[in-house]
Structure 1
Amino acid sequence: MNYPRMEKLLHHSIQNEILEIAALLLVKKIKADLHDEPDTYYAILADECKDLSKRELVAVCIRYLNNGTLKERAVGFVETDNMTADAISVKILEVLEPLQLDPGLCVGFGFDGASVMSGNRGGVHVILKKTFPHALYVHCNSHKLNLVLCTAAKVSPGISTFFGIINSLHNFMNGAQRHAKFLEIQKQMRPEQKTLELERSCEVRWSSWSNAVSKVLTLLGPILETLATFSESSGQTKIEADSLLHQMQTKKFLFLLVTFNQLFEVSDYATKGLQSSTLSVTDCIDLIEGLKDSYTQFRNENDAFDKVMALTDELMNKHEIVSWDISGSRKRKLPARLANTHVDSTLGKSSPVQQNSDLQKLWNDILDKQMMELNTRFKPDTYGFMSAAAACSPWSDTFGDKALIRPACVHFSIPVAEEEHTVFVQQLKRKAKANKITNEKKETLVEVLDACPRDIFPNMNSLLRALLTLPMTTCTVERLFSAVNRIKTGTRATMLTDRLNSLSLLSFERELTDSLEYQDILAVFSTKPRRLLL
């Protein structure tokens, strides 16, 4: 294309127009994927957040199957100054409008548990269900697990204090002089190992707590040495160092440090697994049930507790710690209203740890709370879709049970005939038997779909695609917001939402962006009439 010599195309309005065209072409590629195959089921993922300029943004992603691969694509976000369920619903429909989707093929909504999204009477999912009749609301499983794990910090005041110490350690080591001394001591005590940083914890992202606890356990020696060094100084630094040192040099703190490190090592697999964009119903079941089994084993067998106690005693001997707890041993006085009653609780306050049986009780309380929360938040299969997914998997004990897939067939209006189901089950059983003989391979639901051709088993194929497309998490939307925060920094605080939307989509969907042709963008740009502004 030949432009005049003075036409540099550097004005911000020209840049915004080119970015908008590129983003529209990217959305067209997603639309082509959705319409590439007939009857492509999809799910809607949405969430809201504030950008750096305090503007409320509603972001939308689409989950669908394309050529046997689960994909979650960002399709855009819009600004809103009204955070009611009606307003958010309108914004979501506005973002979805260019995709020209069939409402009957929407199988689910993936939202968080905020009341405006999940309310049973006037929540966003209730309003959108009028447009998408077959869609099922799914509370993000990653968010639910995060809430389960967060209850560990509320088991007792002593555990809340423990996590407060972890936070205070990070804040203390942030000072320039303290940080330099901390790194210097690390090099002296761990000369052949890389220096590490204490990580910042965040309540809404529990994996950060896992990293924080792990780092404190790994760097316990250098941390204690650094605190001891600054406890010999003066002023506020001395007070903070003395306080942290006093609280850390107890058996209770070391026990909780080892305990949560052990529990996080197990829960991290589920936490990371539930953040996958290709997570299916059966994968989600496996991760949660596996975590429940691990906690049950910890609770019912003494080996896990004995292992934690052995590691705690080893740390005490290594760092010459002899104190059990910083709590006083004074017996608490009962209120007058409880004078004639028998009380066996702590009256809402933490009891001092004086022997191993106190630590055993603390261990049991933590696990009991975790298991109770897991069973409460991950409730039994209300709609029957998890049972239907298991009944379609050859490795499941319920494989081939026609009654279990009936609720899903009725909900999605997929008429699976008895003959089609029988032949499908027989074929999968033969294949599963062959795999067991060769390598004992456990097939995923996606592999089951590959073994269910659409031209031979049309309805079973549709049922499997609908079950696979059900949303399990909203982590893709959270990642889109991370892209927004990387782009809209303090130096770009005045960026408008339209430009931010285009840049964020192009950055987030890098794979599709790389496939865009510059000539296509310029061709669209050149077709638009324009005149120079005087």
Structure 2
Amino acid sequence: MSKEFLDRFLKRKSTNFDSSTSNSKPSKIDLDDLPWDPSERKPISSYHPDQKDEVRRAYLAKGPCQPKSHDFPVRNLSDEDRRFSVKWFESYPTWLEYSEKTDRVYCLFCYLFKEPGQKETFVSEGYYYWNKKDRLKTHVGDNNSFHNKAVKKCEDLLRQDRSIQFSYEKYTDKQKSEYRIRLHSTIIVSKALLNGSLPFRGHDESEKSLYKGHFLELLKLLGEVNESIRKVILENAPKNSQMTSPQIQKEVINCFAQEVLKQIFEELDDDVFSILVDESRDCSKKEQMAVVLRYVDKLGVVKERFVGLVHVKETTSLSLKYAIDELFSKYNLSLTKVRGQGYDGASNMAGEFNGLKALILKENSSAYFVHCFAHQLQLVVVALANKHDDIWKFFEEVSNLTNVVCASCKRIDMIRESQKDKLKEAIGREEVETGSGLNQELSLARAGDTRWSSHYKTLVRLVQLYPTIIEVLEYIRSSGQINVQQRQANGIWKYMKSYDFAYYLHLMKHVLGVTNTLSQALQRKDQDIVNAVEMVNATKQQLQTFRLEGFDSLVKDVASFCDKNEIEMVDMDAEYIDPKYRRRKTNITNRHFYEVENFNTVLDMQIQEIGNRFSEILRLAEMYPHDFNYEERDYLMNELDIYINNIRGDKRFANVKDISNLATMMVETNKHVGYPLVYRLLKLSLVLPVATTSVERCFSAMKHVKTDLRNRMGDEYLTDACICYIEKEFFAKVAIEDVMNRFQNMKTRREQL
């Protein structure tokens, strides 16, 4: 009623908005995509009258554009070099804005309430006379200045009880209390569903439906256990204020996500960080780019935090770079603070000239690129298989084996049942231990070139399930209805009954077992690059030791396996017979072939590949020119000497094992204040990314949030839900009252708290 009254009797002031379209429905605008740089914003008067307040609230919610880490350019003013000072943001934190594009400052409040035709330097042109700071104070002026009037209007806009519409709506204390209960209940139910990433909507939400979806059913349950809630929700609430619509749900989810991001950026505290980026398709075939920030918090602990998904229509390096710029602009982050980049090594990411890495390095030379350690380690296996014929044949046969044995549910069930029977017999003979978590059901795992540790897992399962797999192959050989399957099963069976299979199975199982330990360690979020390099060197040394001393133990393991599974052994002292040319003399023994031409060669190639793949990160000992000026670099060596002598005599540092623990201990003992340059150097080392495992985990969460049954989920909804689901540590800390206040301030609400 009040809206009709306003539209009928109150005339709007004339603006430069097109009057011919003022009565038409306003076009939808993306409030999250509003220009962040003050010089790129269009006048408020150019928006539709019904959208102006929404735009104003969106800018007030974001706050002023203050790129504190920007490298401010120098201007020659009055024959002196001058530049903008970051300290001015501290003097005027609520309204002063800086444009990186024009190198000028603006006023947020005056921009939001500037009238058409009104001239204001801090809105239209921008101010850049850095030698006259007093002009900022003059702009604020007295109580009746335009600036302070604009400040008052902004305050009134956020206090919706001051609006004209509210003055015409007569709300009683009872109505306010009931509205608060409804909103509070909606937020509680939303938080419970977000925590488990459960769908909100139901297929049929009509009154006669037996199941209306998680949200309505849980809200109904909440009312059943609390009589005061039941009286004001669902059918007992006003039809225009039930707080259950899909739009309300999405706005509440967005409020939760913004509160989580607020905590993340407070933890970052405008410090240096690294970015970890990767892209993957969701279930609706949209290419999504996940962005994770790696930084050191105030306690000296390494953190990797997910900040959002960005839908990219193309996966070219330019498209990805543009998406990152948009995301950084949205959250007021700066590329100048980036000290590392972590990708999976694809050409669009790590290309030397046109990759995403190169594009970012052009803007920031300190953003060192680190190829994901875990991906590099996986590529070592692939490279080895491609270079060694016998190893290539082994993995090819293993791949064919998984295709044949796992081709149908019936064959997989045969593996499970056969394994179960053998396990019962072994337990009866007391050959295996029993207990909680032991002797779980197993199946043959499929190896993948880009799946970490998948090859090692496959080989371990082959050793465990070997008798069972042989039985399944024999079944396929004898009862297969398709000749192709029979021939495949027969060929694989013959290879698996050979000594070569047993030998390469145990050789690669041991080699991948050594590297698998490294792979698991690299996937830790708090892993630092210094410790990672040491582990790579330790792994190389372990492989080198195995090369020199491990052949005899390997042969014993293979002999035991062959004896247990009725595989014909090979006489190591007999002459080796080449299977391709059986009549041709080789003049070498079997020991020479398996030890020299296979064992030593494979390990040499493995060690060499690890050295080649990880060579570039071993050189990351350069100085950061933008983080230490000339005087600080000169003083750093002296501070290091003093620091080392001090630490050696402090027993609290006796059990420190790596630089991550060292940084944490420095904060605990307050030594980061006494040795700021050393601590800064430690942080720069810790910020460098090691692996993109956090990004991969984000994609796993994305597939859990957006499923085939929820494939129409919008990009903004998906991002907000993923932020809440992934960053549960911060999500659990979000106060319901903060969400309610943010929800109320998003736009004009029908009812007030």
What CA distance in whole angstroms lies between the structure 2 residues aligned with 1:327 and 1:239? 24
1:419-434 to 2 correspondences below 5 Å: 419-431=638-650
Asked whether the 8 Å contact 1:103–1:133 carries over to 2, the reply is no
Correspondence 1:515 to 2:515: no
Separation in 2 of the partners of 1:320 and 1:186? 18
Shift of 1:256: 0.8
| Match status 1:5 vs 2:238 | yes
Q: Which residue of 2 aligns with 1:389?
A: none
Aligned match of 1:484: 702
Aligned to 2:29: none
Matched, 1:164 2:396: yes
Distance in 1 (alpha carbons) for counterparts of 2:461 and 2:578: 26
Confirm or deny that 1:475 pairs with 2:706: no
* Compared CA separation, residues 243 and 124, structure 1 to 2 (3 A): same
* 1:444 aligned partner: 658
Q: For residues 494-532 of structure 1, what are the alpha-carbon distances to aligned partners after superposition, in whole Å with 9 as ceiling and x for unaligned?
A: 222111111111111111111112332232222333689
3-state SS in 1 of match to 2:285: coil
1:32 aligns with 2:263: no
Aligned partner letter, 2:720: S
TM-superposition CA deviations, 1:333-368 (whole Å, max 9, x none)? 9xxxxxxxxxx9xxxxxx9x9823222211222112
Kindly state the Cα deviation for residue 448 of structure 1 after the two structures are TM-superposed.
2.6
Question: Which whole-Å CA distance do the structure 2 matches of 1:355 and 1:203 have between them?
Answer: 32
- 1:384–1:238 CA distance, 2 compared to 1 (3 A): closer
Which has the larger displacement, 495-504 or 109-118? 109-118
1:21 aligns with 2:255: yes
The question of whether the paired residues in 1 share the 8 Å contact of 2:701 and 2:725 is answered with: yes
Q: Deviations along 1:431-463, whole A, 9 cap, x unmatched?
A: 47983xxxxx45311233223723211211111
Residue type of the partner of 2:713? M
Relative distance call for 1:315 and 1:51 in structure 2 (3 A) is same
Once superposed, which parts of structure 1, at least 4 consecutive aligned residues long, lie more than 4 Å away? Answer: 323-327, 380-384
Is residue 317 of structure 1 aligned with residue 563 of structure 2?
yes
1:176 partner amino acid: C
Counterpart in the other structure of 2:613: 377
Separation in 1, partners of 2:263, 2:686? 22
Distance 1:370 1:485 in 2: 34
Which stretch shows the higher mean deviation, 486-495 or 265-274?
A: 486-495
Runs of 5+ consecutive residues of structure 1 not aligned to the other structure = 334-343, 345-350, 386-406, 436-440
Judge conservation of contact 1:185–1:226 (CA < 8 Å) in 2: no
1:458 aligns with 2:676: yes
Q: Is the 8 A contact 1:246 1:326 kept in 2?
A: no
Structure 2 residue 369 is matched with structure 1 residue 144: no
Q: Is the 8 A contact 1:46 1:92 kept in 2?
A: no
Give 1:178's aligned amino acid: R
Change (3 A) 1:241 1:124: closer
Matched, 1:41 2:258: no
Check 1:423–1:263 CA distance in 2 against 1; reply closer, same or farther (3 A cut).
same
Is 1:79–2:314 an aligned residue pair?
no
Provide the C-alpha distance between the structure 1 equivalents of 2:717 and 2:653, rounded to a whole number of angstroms: 55
Pair 479,377 (structure 1): closer, same or farther in 2 beyond 3 Å: same
Cα distance in 2, alignment partners of residues 200 and 408 from structure 1? 44
Deviations 1:16-75 (A, max 9, x none): 22222211111111111111xxx6221111122222222122211111111121100000
Task: Classify the secondary structure of the residue corresponding to 2:445.
Answer: coil
Deviation of 1:181 (Å):
2.3
The alignment status of 1:358 with 2:593, answered yes or no, reads yes
Q: Provide the secondary structure at the position in 1 that maps to 2:527.
A: coil
| Amino acid of the structure 1 residue aligned with 2:422 | M
Spell out, residue by residue over 1:367-417, the C-alpha distance to the aligned partner (whole angstroms, 9 max, x if none). 1211111111211667542xxxxxxxxxxxxxxxxxxxxx42546325141
Q: Point out the structure with max Rg over C-alpha.
A: 2
Does the C-alpha gap of structure 1 residues 206 and 234 become closer, same or farther in structure 2, counting only changes over 3 Å? same
* Partner residue in 2 for 1:231: 477
**In 2, Cα distance between the equivalents of 1:288 and 1:432?**
30
Partner amino acid, structure 1, of 2:450? V
Q: 1:288-322 CA deviation, whole Å, 9 max, x = no partner? A: 001110111122x1x31111111111122222222
Counterpart mapping for 1:216-295 below 5 A:
216-236=462-482, 238-295=486-543
Partner-residue secondary structure (3-state), 1:408: coil
Residues 19 and 502 in structure 1, CA contact (< 8 A), matched pair in contact too: yes
Aligned-partner SS, 2:310: strand
Query: In the alignment, does 2:184 pair up with 1:184?
Result: no
Q: 1:194 to 1:129 in 2, by over 3 A?
A: closer
Which whole-Å CA distance do the structure 2 matches of 1:134 and 1:181 have between them? 57
Q: 1:329 to 1:118 in 2, by over 3 A?
A: closer
Post-superposition Cα deviations, 1:151-190, rounded to whole Å, max 9, x if no partner, equal 2322333322322332333333332322222222212222
Contact 1:173–1:179 (8 Å) recurs in 2: yes
Are residues 1:525 and 2:701 paired? no
Q: Taking structure 1 as reference, are residues 206 and 455 closer, same or farther at Cα in structure 2, changes over 3 Å only?
A: closer
Q: Which amino acid aligns with 1:420?
A: E
Report the equivalent of 1:65.
Answer: 296
Aligned residues: 484
| Alpha-carbon distance change, 234 to 142 in structure 1, aligned in 2, over 3 angstroms | closer
Q: Does 1:412 align with 2:627?
A: yes
Alignment of 1:196-207 (within 5 A): 196-207=442-453
Deviates most, 478-487 or 314-323: 314-323
- Residue 460 (structure 2) aligned to one of 214, 226, 234: 214
Instruction: Tell me the CA shift for residue 484 of structure 1.
Output: 1.0
Distance in 2 between the 1:87 and 1:153 partners?
34
CA distance in 1 between partners of 2:441 and 2:351 (Å): 48
Correspondence for 1:330: 581
For residues 230 and 380 of structure 1, do their structure 2 counterparts lie closer, same or farther at Cα, with a shift above 3 Å needed? closer
Report % sequence identity: 25
